[in-house]
Chains A and B, each alone.
Chain A
Amino acid sequence: MKISGCVEEIINNKNSLSNILAEEAITQIKKGRVNKPNVVWIEGTGCSGNTISLLNANYPDVIYLLNNMINLKFSNSLMTCDGEKAYEIFLETIKEEFILVVEGAISTRENGLFNVIASYKGKKITALEVVKISGYKAKHVIAVGTCASFGGVSKANPNPSESKSAKEILGRDVINLPGCPCHPDWIIGTLAYLITNDGIELDDEGRPLLFYGFTIHDFCPRRTYFNNRIFAQNVGEPYCMFRLGCRGPVTRTDCPTRRWNSGVNWPIGDNTPCIGCANAYFPDGMEPFIRT
């Protein structure tokens, strides 16, 4: 899909885009043209915020996703199995074709021992090991959230756990879905697109153009205030917050049109500047979040 195509998709469909993609994927699955993909969701050094965000999906919701679109074989937080049995399912799954989803950065200190995610036959299994053994075999690797995509909060200075992004660990093509947390529509939309297509068009930082093709500034409802140089002096004023340190001009997401919490609101709509949570330099490079 070309960029001009993306413009049309985003402007015309706004927050229903992921639903359209999901419906298309499910139709293809029902017709037997494609199979429901196995998905392995690994949580590394993070806060599980992306899992929580996924559970907040509503268009389509997460039950619909799990029942109709994907076989979520392994997820630290969501699967019912635990202990060695859960890890055995992971080992079985990676023998077949699967999509790997990485949430959180990967701690590399002490050979990954700062982030142990399983215990198998008396051995501690680290997130680093799990990502390495599954990452090279996976059909696609999706890094969900800023930590997995670029290191994010986990990699912030002084980075005591020596965390790295999924791409730094694997050195292969990774689809980055940054955001702190990642919007559920971006996750479901990307999964749906990958079910019906061989790949997805990415920008130079590995982000799908479908969701990350524009800066927040491009579609900001307060853009006319910026153009007319009417700036807020303090947080809470209904004008452009660029002079307060808004990172909208350097952050690529579709937050202004998609919005959060089922499309209810988003940071600028709630009178706080964008802090650039989907930016590759978040959080160190985006500070100070508010400058008055």
Chain B
Amino acid sequence: MEDICKLKEDLERILERIKELYSMEFLTLCPLGKEHYKNMIIDSIDQAYLKLEETLNILRQNEGKRELKEFTLEELANFDGRNGKPAYVAVNGTVYDVTLIASWGGGSHFGVLAGKDVTEEYNKCHENENKLSKLEVVGKLKGSNL
């Protein structure tokens, strides 16, 4: 996490530098000066590229290790998609985000409401379909064996 924070600071610094260089390149009247600033901008973009690569590597390494948030059924009930709240549903112990899924307008889906454990309904309607892999996992249900 500390590495990521340092990389974020570095990237912000490089971004500031690129902005300055763009202004300098715009303001200078000398063609040689313009060329010089352009080269400096390209150098800065190269630096930013390396930093981004480093950031991605760290994120990839930590992908599997992320701790899943645990939801009780009472907590899950808060995420019902009403009043601008996100819409979450639990299926087989995993909590998924369905807020912006096309068929979940307003946190409701063909008569099924968000904020609940919908395992039974899911198995009834989508038994042989793999709909879950497209959904973002946000946590797990407390007491589940995941």
Contacts and interface: CB of A to CB of B under 8 A. Distances in A.
Contact of B106 (A284, A285, A291): A291
A282 B107 CA distance: 17
Contact of B103 (A229, A250, A288): A250
A217 B108 contact: no
The DSSP consensus for interface residues of chain B is: helix
B103 A291 contact: no
Contacts of A246: 105-106
Contacts of A35: none
Contacts of B99: 243
B96 to A, nearest CB: 17
B102 A243 contact: no
Contact of A284 (B81, B83, B100, B111): B111
Nearest to B83: A292
A159 B108 CA distance: 22
A285 B105 contact: no
Interface string A254-272: 0000000000000000000
A233 B102 contact: no
A217 B102 contact: yes
A245 B102 CA distance: 10
Interface size class of B (residues with CB under 8 A): 10 to 19
Nearest to B107: A291
Nearest to A287: B111
A288 B110 contact: no
Contacts of A287: 108, 111
A143 interface: no
Contact of A292 (B82, B100, B103, B105): B82
Interface string B66-91: 00000000000000011110000000
A59 interface: no
A225 interface: no
Contacts of B81: 243, 291
B111 A243 contact: no
A242 interface: yes
B49 to A, nearest CB: 28
Contacts of A245: 105-108
Interface of A: 217, 229, 231, 233, 242-250, 273, 281, 284-288, 290-292
Given A242-B100, A243-B81, A245-B108, 10 more contacts: A229-B100, A233-B84, A243-B107, A249-B102, A249-B103, A273-B106, A291-B81, A291-B107, A291-B108, A292-B82
15 contacts: A233-B83, A242-B105, A243-B84, A243-B106, A244-B106, A245-B106, A247-B105, A250-B103, A273-B106, A285-B110, A288-B106, A288-B108, A291-B82, A291-B106, A291-B107
